[in-house]
Structure 1
Amino acid sequence: MTVEERIKGVKAAVTAALAALTALWGWFGWLIVAWVVCMAIDYLTGSAAACKAGKWSSALAREGLWHKAGCVAAVTISGILDLVVGHILGGMPEAALPFAYTVFLCPLVVVWYILTEVGSIVENAGAMGAPVPAWLKRMAKALRDQVDQKLGD
C-alpha cells in the first residue's frame, strides 16, 4: 500500500466518522465536539502557562482532570434529563408542545461550559505571554454572564 493510498484511507475514515456523528446528532454533535476540543485546548494551555510560570505540578494537573471529569458528569446528567423530559412529554398527549422536543437542557449546559473554557483559554494565553485583546476577555466573560442571567444563576 502506497503512502497516498494510506492517506486516502485515513481521510475516508475521518470523513465517515464525521458523517456518522452528523447523522447521529446533527448540530448537537458538533457542539459536543467543540466542547471537547475547548477542554483539550484549555488543559494544554493551562499546563503550558503553569510550566512557563514554574508552577506546574502533577497534583494540580490531576485536579484539572478531575474538574474536567466533573464537567463531563454534569453534561451527562443534563443529557439524561433531556431524555427523561422527552419521554414524559411523549407519554402525555395533553402536554404536547408545538414542536418536537429532542434536546434543550444539554445544549445549554454545553454552551455554558464552552464559554467557561474559552474564558480560561484566553486567560491561559495571556499567562503564556500572548497579547490578548482586552475586548476578547470582556466578551468571553460577558457571554457567559449573559447565559447565567437569562437562565437564572
Structure 2
Amino acid sequence: MEHINEWKVIITGVGAAVSAALGWLGWLVVAFVGCMTLDWITGTMVAKSKGEWSSSVARAGLWHKIGSAVAVIVALIFDWLIAMILVNIPGITLPFDYSVFLGPVVLVWYIVTELGSITENAGALGAPIPDFLRAAIKSLNQAVDGSDTKD
C-alpha cells in the first residue's frame, strides 16, 4: 500500500491518454479488451472448477479472441477508408460529418457478446444470475445482432 499514490497517478495518466488520443471510441476499445480478458479468465476458472481445463482449448479461445480483435481493427480501417473517400472525392457530400460508424457498432456487438459469455461463466461458477440480467443481455444481443429469434 505504500505505492498507492504512484498507482493512482499511473492509472489516471493512462485514462487521460486514452481519452485524449481516442475519446469515447477509446473507452469502447478499453471495455472490449476488459470484457475479453474477464471472459477468458472466468472461462478458465469454469474449466478448472470442472476439471476440464485443456491447453488446446485455452489456445483455441485465445485465437478466437485474436480473431475478434482483428475484426474490430478491420471495421476501424473500413471507417477510416470511408472517411478518406468522403473527404477526397469531389461530388460526394453527406449532410453530416462522417468519422466512425462501423468500428463502434462492431465493438458494441463484441462487448455485448462477451458480457453474455461472462454472465454464463459466472452462473457456471455458482453465482446466482438474476433473470432480468439474462433477459437484458439476450435482448441487447438480439438488438445489436439484428436477430429476432426466440430461444
- TM-score between both structures, scaled by the size of structure 1: 0.89
Identity of aligned residues (%): 49
Aligned position for 1:53: 50
Higher mean C-alpha deviation, range 81-90 or range 141-150: 141-150
Is 1:143 aligned to 2:140, yes or no?
yes
Q: Distance in 1 between matches of 2:117 and 2:136?
A: 12
Aligned position for 1:104: 101
Is 1:35 aligned to 2:32, yes or no?
yes
User: How far off is 1:135 after superposition?
Assistant: 2.2
User: How far off is 1:113 after superposition?
Assistant: 0.1
The letter of the residue matching 1:111 is V
Q: Distance in 2 between matches of 1:27 and 1:93?
A: 30
Structure 2 residue corresponding to 1:134, chosen from 131, 134, 138: 131
**Unmatched tracts of structure 1, length 5 or more:** none
Is 1:91 aligned to 2:88, yes or no?
yes
Deviations 1:17-52 (A, max 9, x none): 211110111111001101111001100110111111
Q: Distance in 2 between matches of 1:63 and 1:11?
A: 35
User: How far off is 1:92 after superposition?
Assistant: 2.5
User: How far off is 1:10 after superposition?
Assistant: 3.1
User: How far off is 1:137 after superposition?
Assistant: 1.4
Q: Distance in 1 between matches of 2:99 and 2:33?
A: 21
User: How far off is 1:133 after superposition?
Assistant: 1.3
- TM-score between both structures, scaled by the size of structure 2: 0.91
Please report the RMSD computed on the Cα atoms of aligned residues, expressed in angstroms: 1.4
User: How far off is 1:65 after superposition?
Assistant: 0.3
What SS class does the counterpart of residue 130 from structure 1 fall into?
coil
Higher helix residue share: 1
User: How far off is 1:8 after superposition?
Assistant: 3.0
Q: Distance in 2 between matches of 1:108 and 1:95?
A: 23
Structure 2 residue corresponding to 1:23, chosen from 20, 24, 30: 20
Q: Distance in 2 between matches of 1:93 and 1:20?
A: 35
